[in-house]
Amino acid sequence: MGTIAYNYTGLVDALNDMKARGYAGDFRIIDCEGPDESSPCRLQSDTSGKMYKNDQLIIREHYRFEGPSNPDDMSVAYGIECEGGEKGVLVDAYGTYSSRRVAEFLRDIPIIMDPGKGISNG
């Protein structure tokens, strides 16, 4: 099975389509805002409230956007599948305003864009 890629004109179009295709949850990175930044980050679902470590995740899709009139208006959307099957979206700034902590958390998560492969639930 080949990879799937979608072309979107903007972040809102991507988020709407991804949600329609099953990425229903919204995710955020938590627990890494400590004063020494040594706390391990986790991904939290705003929908279910569940929290995940990065070894429980797969990035299925990712899209980068730059505003047509403002290079500072840059973002990236990640379609993430969690152990147990929950799917959702994490959005971060791209470039100058991106979160270093988000980038560090995502760095070790595999990107597997083949929809035929998932995380084992066993």
Every domain of the chain and the residues it spans: 11-24+55-106
Give the DSSP per-residue string, 24-83: -EEEEEES---TTS-SPPEEEETTT--EE-GGGEEEEEEEEEE-SS-TT-EEEEEEEEET
> Model-level pTM?
0.81
Task: Name, of 16-20, 38-42, 68-72, the range with top average pLDDT.
Answer: 16-20
pLDDT digits (tens, 9 = 90+) for 43-84: 999 999 999 999 999 999 999 888 665 665 689 999 999 999
Per-residue burial over 70-86, b if 16 or more Cβ lie within 10 Å, else e, is: eeebbbbbbbbbbbeeb
Which is higher by pLDDT, 8 or 38?
8
